[in-house]
């Protein structure tokens, strides 16, 4: 038996359906308004009977006929006029208005007879004559429209003074017929809904013109100063279907409550009692409410709340009582006096308000709990027995609790904020596809192939732009992993699982008889607070519902397909030794991975992993999709959601963790007191980098170029790390329309270009800088040469490079210039060779590193010239000189290739010595013997310019990259470029994997290991790109590795040529430049760095 609201009149002070002064007079007002309409209709009907002539009334009469007749159209100009000339004609019985809430009413129009014309193309003109062939009769039809209204007060001008000291205003109901919307048409005959709606909306506007949109409320001219209380919402007995309220869909509001309830239920399910305020939406106990003063205690478990829109501003909120248990004390272990109550449904009416923030860009929808009213007419209380005194008492207290205290609790839990919309960051309309934007049946080359294989000119420009803007902020090495790269990583792992003969949880997982499903690849979206959204996509399967949040063998079995569950998880870093819950199969797989083969079992290094923390996964209902679940008649669909979330979060994720699939990257770290290589990281940190704040509400609005990336910052040589954050740049990832951009590696100028590359190339300066050693013995000039690196006093000094500041912005240019000049003056009466002997030797070397991207290769150019001059000026006027020079040029070329970059030395490394030239004038006496400069250059200048050390240094970037590893595989480096800061950058891509579209088998040959020695040999090709060719099986690196062997041992490659890549160098200085030499003194000018 349904309880009577009268039981609570005193204790709850609820509005009732009585219509007396001081109480809700809404029904009286509705009756009064309809009474006016009947009277006005009768007046209109009487006017029609007296003045109507079955033709369209004149303008002076049309408003008098309005409630009884409506004519739309124009009579024919020839022949006898008739009703059939009208596009629409109808006679009406009295209208009736039902109020459904405090903002909307329904006006019911009853057509007794008439017709309408279905040629709506002509109906746009009210003065058109109908083509009777399209007229359609209608009779005894009831048409209902929803109409907004408001109540306004108008002042009464009391000229007589008779209503002094009384209420001097009249309330008017103003109906907005212009905003009316069709609800229903009831007719025994078939009808054209579109046509009837068109004509009757015109009719409602006509009623407004006739003044029938304004109707008096109940008069209030008494002198008791008490106003009428009108609450139409609380007396309504039916709810019409409304899909949207205040601009937000009812579906979204219900989605909010189902999500919030599920999260609350999970929270409550982990506690022994429901004490957390956030759990109150799913479970609550009277013991949690300090002010509870009832004669008993209770514990209630709720189902998911739901709402129905009553009108455009008000909604009915239903609380579903799954289980209400009554206890006599706070000891809930003692059985209570009543059996658990189930199935109660409590309805509360509340207003929905919208709040604009941030200059109108943010809108929040809030339930106004202060406006709440108990709606007995929509409640359900199965099992209620009015003769059961205890049950009636429980019912009274529980309803009072709901109407009063419970809403305060919900507001503290912030459950009154039900929707949020940011104009700048709208929420997604669809759930992301599995993996990236692709279909499972697509070619995996398109899904996971690295974009560098298809690099376009626009992509090259973008890579150029990105590399130029990157600032490492003082870190030695920065690696960025793209969001797309992470997705491709999961696709790769999933494809391995799908095509493997061994079972894998990434493709199929079964949990006893409770759950069974096949999966699609997970997809990931990075957030800017070191978190990520992970979608678990289920292709098909079944589940059993839970009991008390635990798997239940008797639970209802439900089959599903195409579901996607979204979770927000943290991204964390931990030492390998902290991974204590890993399975034996993972340990075996890890020990066979490239990172373990290269760095495992080494006492001087440890592993650190960056991983998704699935153990703290938070379910996101609004970003999840349950295809077919909420659109069917399935009873309690939320139970299925509860079950699937529990199985995935509590059981499946633990399997993902123990299998190591949550690991995103593995990084070897060298321990203190070890001797790491130049690339070896000695400390590392990570964070998610984004120019903007990205969270679960804003991620969808970001363009691809602004997507967050995982940034791994590292230091080498045990240097301390600078402080984060990194300087903001235009981006770290070069996006592409084809394939995936996996990530970027940047090596700082201080670590590689300056500390390693320039230092090693400074050895070239030392080997190519000549120093003269002159002497005159027995009237003969004895000149000798030596190189800087062989000079006893100079060989330990550095021939450092100096930056050329006025070089082109497209290049980093360095120079080494050294001038050494000796002058010896000899005068003696016993010698005929008296005079001044001068020797000068000039070395000019240039190094050019391009900062513009060339997709074919990075070419580092070196060129040099050594000029030597010997001169004699006798005291008798004799003048003799001889000069010669040696030129050289070569390039160090770094190319992207399958299996990583490869390094080559191209161009001539052998010097080209110019023939000596002689000149001067003699005084008639015998000339002295000048040195053989050409011979000296050939004998003392290196026969080849060796770049083996520099090439060997670049070899650390060949093969698999050995700093950061993705899960079970490895990266290779591609598309190298230096930026203007001297930082060296590479793109990351899967090691030894070539997409079929670009794969071209190379010639088969044999050869020894390259510059990386065993490192190249131990690197494995990426497994798991189902159906894709693996470079390890189809391509041989011996061709370029054998070439690498040549320059690694500094073998000469000579192809001649007198000029290098830079064109002509300045030749040796003229005579005047050497006259400043000081007798028996040494003058050394060197532009560079001397230790």
Q: Could you give the 3-state DSSP secondary structure of residue 1034?
A: helix
Q: Token pair for residue 71?
A: 């004519």
User: Does some domain include residue 616?
Assistant: yes
User: What is the per-residue pLDDT across 734-768, written as a single tens digit (0 to 9) for each?
Assistant: 666 566 889 999 999 999 999 899 999 999 999 99
Same domain flag for 765 and 738:
no
Which tens digits make up the pLDDT trace of 390-415?
899 889 888 888 888 888 888 888 88
Task: Please determine, for residue 731, whether its predicted confidence score (pLDDT) is greater than 50.
Answer: yes
Percent of the chain whose predicted confidence (pLDDT) is above 90: 42
Asked if residue 431 belongs to a domain, the reply is: no
Distance CA 870, CA 143 (A): 116
Alpha carbon distance, N-terminus to C-terminus of the chain: 102
Tell me: do 890 and 1027 sit in the same domain: no
pLDDT at 226: 65
Q: What is the DSSP letter of 753?
A: I
Q: Are residues 210 and 179 in the same domain?
A: yes
pLDDT at 1056: 33
Measured in whole angstroms, how far is the alpha carbon of residue 923 from the centre of its chain?
87
pLDDT of amino acid 1077: 30
620 and 594 inside one domain: yes
Q: Which range (225-234, 532-541, 892-901) has the least confidence?
A: 225-234
Task: Please tell me the predicted confidence (pLDDT) of residue 1006.
Answer: 35
Is the pLDDT assigned to residue 1082 strictly greater than 50? no
Give the integer Cα–Cα distance in Å for 426 and 653.
30
Q: Do 89 and 170 belong together in one domain? A: yes
Average pLDDT for 803-809: 87
Distance CA 129, CA 75 (A): 6
- Decide: 581 and 658 in contact? Cβ < 8 Å: yes
pLDDT above 50: residue 1001: no
The residue among 716 and 237 whose pLDDT is bigger is: 716
User: Could you tell me if residue 11 is inside a domain?
Assistant: no
* Listed range (14-23, 108-117, 712-721, 1014-1023) with the worst mean pLDDT: 1014-1023
Residue with tokens 């062939």: 133
Confidence band of 1047 (pLDDT split at 50, 70, 90): very low
DSSP 63-83: TTTTTTEEEEE---SSS---G
Token couple for 524: 């990931």
Of 724, 742, 760, the position where a domain reaches its end is: 742
Are 733 and 847 members of one domain? Answer: no
How does residue 429 score in pLDDT terms, banded at 50, 70 and 90?
low
pLDDT band at 344 (very low <50, low <70, confident <90, very high): very high
pLDDT at 1073 over 60: no
> Residue 1045: exposed, middle, or buried by beta-carbon count in 10 A (0-12, 13-18, 19+)?
middle
CATH at 409: 3.15.10
Check whether residue 180 and residue 314 sit in a common domain: no
Most confident of 164-178, 246-260, 592-606: 592-606
Which residues pair with residue 567 across a beta bridge?
534, 619
Decide if 352 is inside a domain: yes
CB 712 within 8 A of CB 971: no
Q: Which two tokens stand for residue 873?
A: 């000026």
Q: Are residues 397 and 501 in the same domain?
A: no
8 or 441, higher pLDDT:
441
Q: Where are the beta strands (DSSP E) in 259-405?
A: 283-285, 297-302, 306-309, 314-327, 344-357, 362-374
Same domain, 1042 and 1066: no
Residue 10 placed within a domain: no
Asked whether the predicted pLDDT for residue 965 surpasses 90, the reply is yes
Measure the CA–CA gap between 259 and 262, rounded to whole angstroms.
5
* Cα–Cα dist 179/853, whole Å: 62
Q: Which residues, at least 6 apart from 108, have a Cβ–Cβ distance to it below 8 Å?
A: 95, 96, 97, 98, 142, 143, 144
Cα-based angle 555, 557, 559 (whole degrees, multiple of 5): 150
Each residue of 200-236: pLDDT tens digit?
999 999 999 999 999 999 887 766 666 778 899 888 8
* Local confidence band at 268 (pLDDT 50, 70, 90 cut-offs): confident
Structure confidence at residue 1004 (pLDDT): 38
Residue 395 lies in a domain: yes
- Report the range of poorest mean pLDDT among 733-747, 756-770, 804-818, 897-911: 733-747
- Which residues are CB-contacts of 242 (< 8 A; sequence separation ≥ 6)? 250, 308, 309, 310, 311, 312
pTM of the model: 0.70
The helix/strand/coil state of 680 is coil
Greater pLDDT, 849 or 292: 849
Domain hosting 272: range is: 244-422
User: Of 718, 742, 766, which marks where a domain is finished?
Assistant: 742
Last residue of one domain, picked from the residues 200, 227, 254:
227
Asked if residue 179 and residue 45 are part of one domain, the reply reads yes
- How confident is the model at residue 1017, as a pLDDT? 34
Q: What is the mean pLDDT of the chain?
A: 81
pLDDT average, residue stretch 770-786: 76
pLDDT at 977 over 70: yes
Does pLDDT of 1015 surpass 70?
no
How many domains, the chain? Answer: 5
CA distances from 711 to 17, 483, 746 (A): 66, 11, 11
Model confidence over 561-620: pLDDT tens digits? 999 999 999 999 999 999 998 999 999 999 999 999 999 989 999 999 999 999 999 998
| Helices vs. strands in the chain: H and E counts, helices first | 20, 46
pLDDT of residue 1068: 35
Q: Is residue 17 part of a domain?
A: no
- Residues 620 and 716 occupy one common structural domain: yes
What is the C-alpha radius of gyration for the chain, rounded to an integer number of angstroms?
A: 45
**Residue 20 domain-assigned?**
no
- Band the pLDDT of 269: cuts 50, 70, 90: low
Same domain flag for 754 and 898: yes
Residue 826 has pLDDT above 50, yes or no: yes
Name 509's bridge partners.
517
């Amino acid at each position: 038996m349904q309880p009577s609201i009268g039981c609570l009149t005193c204790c709850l002070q609820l509005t009732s359906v009585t219509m007396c002064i001081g109480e809700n007079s809404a029904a009286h007002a509705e009756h009064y308004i309809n009474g006016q309409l009947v009277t006005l209709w009768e007046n209109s009907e009487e006017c029609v009977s007296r003045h109507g002539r079955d033709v369209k009334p004149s303008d002076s009469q049309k408003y008098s006929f309005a409630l009884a007749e409506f004519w739309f159209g124009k009579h024919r100009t020839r022949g006898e006029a008739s009703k059939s000339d009208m596009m629409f004609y109808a006679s009406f019985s009295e209208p009736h208005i039902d109020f459904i809430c405090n903002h909307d009413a329904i006006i019911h129009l009853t057509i007794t007879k008439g017709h309408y014309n279905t040629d709506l193309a002509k109906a746009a003109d009210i003065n058109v004559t109908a083509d009777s062939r399209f007229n359609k009769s209608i009779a005894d039809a009831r048409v209902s429209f929803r109409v907004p209204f408001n109540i306004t007060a108008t002042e009464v001008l009391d000229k007589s003074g008779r209503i002094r000291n009384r209420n001097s205003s009249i309330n008017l109901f103003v109906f907005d017929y212009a905003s009316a919307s069709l609800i229903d048409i009831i007719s025994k005959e078939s009808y054209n809904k579109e046509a009837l709606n068109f004509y009757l909306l015109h009719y409602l506007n006509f009623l407004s013109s006739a003044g029938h949109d304004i109707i008096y409320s109940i008069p209030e001219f008494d002198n008791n100063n008490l106003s009428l209380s009108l609450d139409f919402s609380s007396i309504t007995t039916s709810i019409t279907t409304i899909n949207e309220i205040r601009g937000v869909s009812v579906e979204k509001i219900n989605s909010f409550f189902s999500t919030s309830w599920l999260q609350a239920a999970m929270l409550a399910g982990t506690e022994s009692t429901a004490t957390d305020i956030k759990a109150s939406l799913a479970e609550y106990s009277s013991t949690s409410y300090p002010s509870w003063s009832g004669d008993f205690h209770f514990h209630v478990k709720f189902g998911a709340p739901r709402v129905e829109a009553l009108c455009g501003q008000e909604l009915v909120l239903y609380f579903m009582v799954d289980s209400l248990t009554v206890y006599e004390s706070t000891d809930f272990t003692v059985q209570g006096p009543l059996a658990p109550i189930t199935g109660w449904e409590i309805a509360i009416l509340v207003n929905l308000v919208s709040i604009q923030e941030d200059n109108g860009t943010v809108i929040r929808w809030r339930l106004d709990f202060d406006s709440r009213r108990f709606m007995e007419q929509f409640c359900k209380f199965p099992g209620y027995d009015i003769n059961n005194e205890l049950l009636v008492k429980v019912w009274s207290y529980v309803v009072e609790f709901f109407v009063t205290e419970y809403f305060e609790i919900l507001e503290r839990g912030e459950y009154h904020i039900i929707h949020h919309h940011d104009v700048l960051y709208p929420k997604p309309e669809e759930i992301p596809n599995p993996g990236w934007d692709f279909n499972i049946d697509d070619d995996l080359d398109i899904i996971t192939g690295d974009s560098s294989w298809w690099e376009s000119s626009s992509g090259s420009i973008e890579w150029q732009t990105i590399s130029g803007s990157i600032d490492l902020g003082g870190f030695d090495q920065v690696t960025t992993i793209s969001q797309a790269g992470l997705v491709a990583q999961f696709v790769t792992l999933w494809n391995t699982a799908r095509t493997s003969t061994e079972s894998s949880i990434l493709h199929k997982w079964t949990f006893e008889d409770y759950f069974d499903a096949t999966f699609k690849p997970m997809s990931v979206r990075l957030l800017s607070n070191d978190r990520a959204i992970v979608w678990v996509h289920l292709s098909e399967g079944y589940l059993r519902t839970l009991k008390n949040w635990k798997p239940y063998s008797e639970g209802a079995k439900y089959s599903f397909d195409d579901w996607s569950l979204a979770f927000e998880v943290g991204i964390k870093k931990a030492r390998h030794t902290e991974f204590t819950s890993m399975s034996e199969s993972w340990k075996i797989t890890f020990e066979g991975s490239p990172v373990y083969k290269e760095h495992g079992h080494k006492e001087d290094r440890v592993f650190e992993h960056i991983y998704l923390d699935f153990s703290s996964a938070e379910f996101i209902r609004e970003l999840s999709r349950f295809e077919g679940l909420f659109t069917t008649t399935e009873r309690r669909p939320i139970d299925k959601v509860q079950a699937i979330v529990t199985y995935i979060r509590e059981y499946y994720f633990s399997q993902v963790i123990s299998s190591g699939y949550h690991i995103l990257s593995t990084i070897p770290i060298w321990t203190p007191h070890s001797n790491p290589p130049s690339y070896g990281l000695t400390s590392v940190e990570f964070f998610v980098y984004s120019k903007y704040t990205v969270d679960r509400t804003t991620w969808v609005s970001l363009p691809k170029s602004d997507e967050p990336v995982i940034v791994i910052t590292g230091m080498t040589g045990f240097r301390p790390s600078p402080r984060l954050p990194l300087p903001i740049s235009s981006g770290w990832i070069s996006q592409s329309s084809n394939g995936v951009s996996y990530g970027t590696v940047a090596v700082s100028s201080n670590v590689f270009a300056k500390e390693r590359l320039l230092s090693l190339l400074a050895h070239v300066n030392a080997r190519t800088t000549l120093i003269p050693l002159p002497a005159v013995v027995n009237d003969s000039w004895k000149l000798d040469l030596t190189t800087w690196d062989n000079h006893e006093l100079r060989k330990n000094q550095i021939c450092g490079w100096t930056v050329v500041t006025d070089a082109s912005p497209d290049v980093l240019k360095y120079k080494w210039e050294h001038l050494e000049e000796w002058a010896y003056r000899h005068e003696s009466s016993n010698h005929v060779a008296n005079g001044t002997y001068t020797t000068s030797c000039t070395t000019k070397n240039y190094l050019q590193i391009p900062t513009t991207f060339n997709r074919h290769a990075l070419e580092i150019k070196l060129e040099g010239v050594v000029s030597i001059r010997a001169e004699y000026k006798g005291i008798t006027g004799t003048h003799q000189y001889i000069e010669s020079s040696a030129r050289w040029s070569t390039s160090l070329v770094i190319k992207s290739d399958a299996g990583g970059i490869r390094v080559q030395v191209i161009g001539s490394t052998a010097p080209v010595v110019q023939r000596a030239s002689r000149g001067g004038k003699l005084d008639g006496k015998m000339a002295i013997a000048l040195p053989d400069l050409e011979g000296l250059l050939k004998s003392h200048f290196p026969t080849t310019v060796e770049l083996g050390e520099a090439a060997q240094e670049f070899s650390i970037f060949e093969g698999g990259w050995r700093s950061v590893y993705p899960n079970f595989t490895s990266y290779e480096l591609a598309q190298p470029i230096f930026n203007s800061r001297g930082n060296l950058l590479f793109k990351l891509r899967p090691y030894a994997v070539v997409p079929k579209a670009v794969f071209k088998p190379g010639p088969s040959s044999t050869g020894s290991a390259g510059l990386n020695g065993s490192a190249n040999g131990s690197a494995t090709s990426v497994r798991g790109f189902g159906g894709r060719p693996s470079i390890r099986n189809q391509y041989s690196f011996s061709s370029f590795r054998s070439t690498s062997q040549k320059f690694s041992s500094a073998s000469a490659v000579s192809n001649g040529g007198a000029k290098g890549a830079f064109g002509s160098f300045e030749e040796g200085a003229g005579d005047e430049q050497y006259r400043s030499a000081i007798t028996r003194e040494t003058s050394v000018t060197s532009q560079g760095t001397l230790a």
